[in-house]
Amino acid sequence: MFNRRQILQSMATLPLLSACALPRQGSARNYTPSGMPLRRVNVSDDRVIRTIAGLRPYRPSGFVVRAERMNDKVVIHNYGHGGGGITLSWGTSHLAMELATQTQHRRCAVLGSGATGLSAARLMQNAGWEVAIYSKDLPPNTTSNVAGGQWSPTSVYSEDSVTPAFLAQFESAMRHSYRYYQNLVGPKYGVRWISNYMILSGDSGTDFLSDTYPGMYPQRLRLAPSDHPFPANNILHIDTMLAEPAVYLPQMMDDFQIAGGKIVVKEFRDRSEVLQLDEPVIINCTGLGSRELFNDNELIPIKGQLTFLLPQEEVDYIIIGNSGLYMFPRSDGILLGGTYERNNWDTTPDPQATRRIIDGHRAFFNAMEDPWA
Residue 123: CATH number of its domain = 3.40.50.720
User: Residue 336: inside a domain, yes or no?
Assistant: no
Determine how many CB atoms are found less than 10 A away from the CB of residue 248.
23
User: Residue 95: inside a domain, yes or no?
Assistant: yes
User: What is the distance between the alpha carbons of residues 280 and 195, in angstroms, rounded to a whole number?
Assistant: 44
| Residues 76/331, Cβ–Cβ less than 8 Å | no
- Per-residue pLDDT, 322: 84
- Residue 291's nearest CA partner among 319, 314, 315, 268 is 268
> Looking at the 3D structure of the chain, how many domains does it have?
1
User: Residue 155: inside a domain, yes or no?
Assistant: yes
Q: Which residues touch 74 (CB under 8 Å, ≥6 apart)? A: 67, 68, 100, 103, 105, 280, 281, 282
- Per-residue pLDDT, 206: 83
Distances (CA, A) of 236 to 135, 208, 209, 222: 40, 12, 12, 5
User: What is the distance between the alpha carbons of residues 174 and 246, in angstroms, rounded to a whole number?
Assistant: 23
> Residue 325 in 3-state DSSP?
strand
Instruction: List average pLDDT for each run of 10 residues in the chain, which is 373 residues long.
Output: 43 39 72 97 98 97 98 97 97 98 97 98 98 95 92 96 97 98 98 97 82 96 95 96 97 98 96 97 98 97 97 98 94 96 96 97 97 93
Residue 55 β-bridge partners? 303
User: Residue 10: inside a domain, yes or no?
Assistant: no
- Per-residue pLDDT, 70: 97
User: Residue 117: inside a domain, yes or no?
Assistant: yes
- Per-residue pLDDT, 19: 36
According to DSSP, the β-strands at 130-135 and 107-111 are parallel
| Residues 133/106, Cβ–Cβ less than 8 Å | no
- Per-residue pLDDT, 199: 95
User: Residue 94: inside a domain, yes or no?
Assistant: yes
Q: Which residues touch 178 (CB under 8 Å, ≥6 apart)? A: 91, 151, 216
User: What is the distance between the alpha carbons of residues 111 and 120, in angstroms, rounded to a whole number?
Assistant: 10
Distances (CA, A) of 126 to 16, 131, 183, 260, 361: 45, 10, 14, 11, 43
User: Residue 350: inside a domain, yes or no?
Assistant: no
- Per-residue pLDDT, 204: 66
- Residue 111's nearest CA partner among 346, 275, 303, 254 is 275
Torsion of CA 174, 142, 207, 120, to 10 degrees: 0
- Per-residue pLDDT, 201: 83
| Residues 236/217, Cβ–Cβ less than 8 Å | no
Q: Which residues touch 8 (CB under 8 Å, ≥6 apart)? A: none
Phi-psi bin for 121: left (phi > 0), alpha (psi -120 to 50), beta? alpha
Could you tell me the pTM of the whole model? Answer: 0.91
- Per-residue pLDDT, 24: 63
> Residue 254 in 3-state DSSP?
helix
User: What is the distance between the alpha carbons of residues 324 and 331, in angstroms, rounded to a whole number?
Assistant: 23
Residue 144 β-bridge partners? none
What range defines the domain where residue 93 resides? Answer: 58-192+242-289
